[in-house]
Amino acid sequence: MLGVCGGIAAYKMAALTSTLVQRGATVDVIMTDEATKFVGPLTFSSLTARPVYSSLWDAPERIPHIRLVREAQAVLVAPATANVIAKLAHGIADDLLTTALLAARIPIAIAPAMNSAMFEHPATLANLATLTGRGYEIVDPDEGFLAERERGVGRLAPEEWLLEALARMLARTQSLRGKRIAITAGPTREAFDPIRFVSNASTGATGIELAREAAARGGDVTLLLGPTALQPPPGVRVIGFTTAQELYDAAMREVLDADLTIATAAVADWRPSTRSESKLKKTDEDLDVRMVRNPDVLAALGERKGKTFLVGFAAETDDHEANAREKLRRKHLDAIVVNDVRGERGFGAGPNHLTLLYGERGRRDLGTAEKRALAARLLDALEELMCS
Ligand SMILES: Cc1cc2nc3c(=O)[nH]c(=O)nc-3n(C[C@H](O)[C@H](O)[C@H](O)COP(=O)(O)O)c2cc1C
């Protein structure tokens, strides 16, 4: 799908559309209202032999903003105006293009094109940084002659760069086809009476984003998900668990033959030794709760892993990498992701920082970003390791 916005470079998209069609692509074009002032929709509909859409209200009974992005494999927004970039960064959906982009679960590339002052404005740069953090691919503008007879950064990236970005995104959509992926996510709850339990701050967000990304790459994904208020992604088989024992049983039953297993669940190491059938009555006395060991799910997967590429997560507050390397060896993992959780960093929404460790000395810093973008970076790195 191509999203064309109201910038001078809109005319260049006719040539790109023609190239894509000649290479066998099926192309749907959405134009903003302003874009139609620069190029006529007829140009695109003739090239694609398909209708061109610009309004939410042309055929609302067919819900075009959802249908178009469900049928597409990837979206390129080019030229992306400062205005559409700002709307996307803030979740504004006030026309067909921005509404469709908000509804998209497929890779999106944004190719900004504008006057250099607009491009270098702190608002535009901050909006682009937000989109990068969310996993959008930004195709940087080129430097050179601008329509207003100035020179600077802001020319739409050359066609070749746009085609490369599309090829990268399309490769991602197929890269896990035929692979079975198992992901554990979320906290466990270990109850000591019907309403009280010991748990932790995990929300499952990291595992949910990994499951979403793995499914978007064509993987056959099973998500073992603990109690959370977050919604699992569509197109993924979800198996719920509450306690560490339930996760252990489900993991032994469901995921031993996966090609790739990523264990992000925050599993309780201990559980209360007894669970009262009725609510414990409040007294003036202190309450002693004895905790006993839970089974170690990750170690058990490591002992039985066969051909599975097994990846653990280490949520550490001190000595992160040394502890994680020790866990990598002891639990027979192929790789481990270090997550610094001091001060509850790493839990829930917001940016996170991950480091991937593998083999004797292998190390890759995945940087700081939103969990959705980090999920894509982690899967890129794991796919590379699995092939090497
Ligand atoms: C002649 C002309 C050229 C323009 N070129 C650009 C441009 O290259 N990039 C840009 O971000 N805005 C450009 N604008 C401003 C946008 O058209 C304007 O912000 C509009 O609201 C964008 O609408 P859209 O983002 O819904 O397409 C241009 C405006 C005019 C009148």
Q: Any idea which residue has 């003739």 for tokens?
A: 46
Q: Is the CB of 114 under 6 A from ligand 1?
A: yes
**Residues β-bridged to residue 261:** 182, 310
Q: What are the structural domain ranges in the chain?
A: 2-174, 180-271+287-387
Could you give the 3-state DSSP secondary structure of residue 347? Answer: coil
Pocket test for ligand 1, best of 4, 29, 31, 34 (most atoms within 8 A of CB): 34
Q: Collapsing DSSP states into helix, strand and coil, what is residue 379?
A: helix
Q: Is 34 in the pocket of ligand 1 (CB under 6 A)?
A: yes
Q: What is the pLDDT of residue 102?
A: 93
Q: How far is the C-alpha of 16 from the C-alpha of 159, rounded, in Å?
A: 7
* The token pair that represents 111 in the structure block: 């190719």
In what helix (H) or strand (E) does residue 100 lie, and over which residues does it extend? Answer: helix 96-103
Beta bridge partners of 241: none
CA torsion angle 356 383 302 226 (round to 10): 80
Structure confidence at residue 233 (pLDDT): 83
Contact 116/146 with Cβ under 8 angstroms?
yes
pLDDT at 317: 66
Q: What angle do CA 120, 125, 126 make, to 5 degrees?
A: 145
| 139 neighbors 78 (Cβ within 8 angstroms) | yes
Which of 213, 205, 210, 254 lies closest to 231, judged by CA?
A: 205
Q: What is the pTM of this model?
A: 0.73
The whole-number pLDDT of residue 95 equals 96
Confidence (pLDDT) at 67: 85
Q: Is 6 in the pocket of ligand 1 (CB under 6 A)?
A: yes
pLDDT tens for the chain, 388 residues long, are 999 999 999 999 999 999 999 999 999 999 999 999 999 999 999 999 999 999 998 878 778 888 888 889 999 999 999 999 999 999 999 999 999 999 998 889 999 999 999 999 999 999 999 998 888 999 999 998 888 788 889 999 999 999 999 998 888 888 999 999 999 999 999 999 999 999 999 999 999 999 999 998 989 999 999 999 998 987 899 999 999 999 999 999 988 899 999 999 999 999 999 999 999 999 999 999 999 999 999 999 999 989 999 999 997 766 788 899 999 999 999 999 998 766 555 666 677 889 999 999 999 999 988 888 899 999 999 999 999 8
Q: Residue 86 C-alpha to ligand 1 middle, in angstroms?
A: 13
d(CA 272, CA 250): 21
Ligand 1 centroid distance, CA of 7 (Å): 4
Q: Ligand 1 centroid to 114 CA: how many Å?
A: 8
Ligand 1 atom, smallest distance to 87 CA: 25
Establish whether residue 97 lines the binding site of ligand 1, counting it when its CB lies within 6 angstroms of any ligand atom: no
Indicate if ligand 1 lies below 6 Å from the C-beta of 78: no
Give the separation between CA 69 and CA 233, rounded to whole angstroms. Answer: 16
Please indicate whether residue 101, judged by its CB atom, sits closer than 6 Å to ligand 1.
Answer: no
pLDDT at 298: 96
Instruction: Specify whether the CB–CB gap between 271 and 199 falls below 8 A.
Output: no
pLDDT of residue 135: 83
Q: What letter does residue 301 receive in the DSSP assignment?
A: H
Q: What is the CATH number of domain 2-174?
A: 3.40.50.1950
Q: How far is CA 383 from CA 36, 134, 227, 329, 386, in A?
A: 41, 20, 29, 21, 5
Nearest to 105 by CA among 231, 235, 264, 239: 235
Q: Whose CA is nearest to atom 22 of ligand 1?
A: 6
Structure tokens that stand for 320 in this block: 């992160």
Q: What is the pLDDT of residue 216?
A: 86
Structure tokens that stand for 254 in this block = 């469901």
Token code pair at residue 362 = 């292998």
pLDDT computed for residue 131 by the predictor? 92
Q: How many distinct helices (H) and strands (E) make up the chain?
A: 14, 20
Cα 113 to ligand 1 centroid, rounded to whole Å: 9
Residue 152 is encoded by which pair of tokens? 């600077």
Mapped onto helix, strand or coil, the DSSP state of residue 29 is strand
131 lines ligand 1 (CB under 6 A): no
Ligand 1 atom nearest to 97, measured from its CA: 26
**What's the pLDDT at 250?**
97
Mutation test residue for ligand 1: of 12, 31, 83, the one with most atoms within 8 Å of CB: 83
Protein residue closest via CA to atom 28 of ligand 1: 7
Is there a contact between 39 and 52 (Cβ–Cβ < 8 Å)?
A: no
The 10 Å Cβ neighbour count of residue 189 is 19
Q: Quick one: CATH architecture of 180-271+287-387? A: 3-Layer(aba) Sandwich (3.40)
* DSSP track, 105-121: -S-EEEEE---HHHHHS
pLDDT of residue 30: 97
Nearest-atom number in ligand 1 for the CA of 9 is: 8
Which residues does the annotation mark as catalytic? 200
Kindly tell me the sign of the dihedral angle through the C-alpha atoms of 16, 44, 47, 169.
positive
- Could you tell me the CA-to-CA distances from 214 to 2, 76, 148, 211 in Å, in that order? 24, 21, 44, 5
Pocket mutation for ligand 1, best pick of 2, 4, 5, 148 (most atoms within 8 Å of C-beta): 5
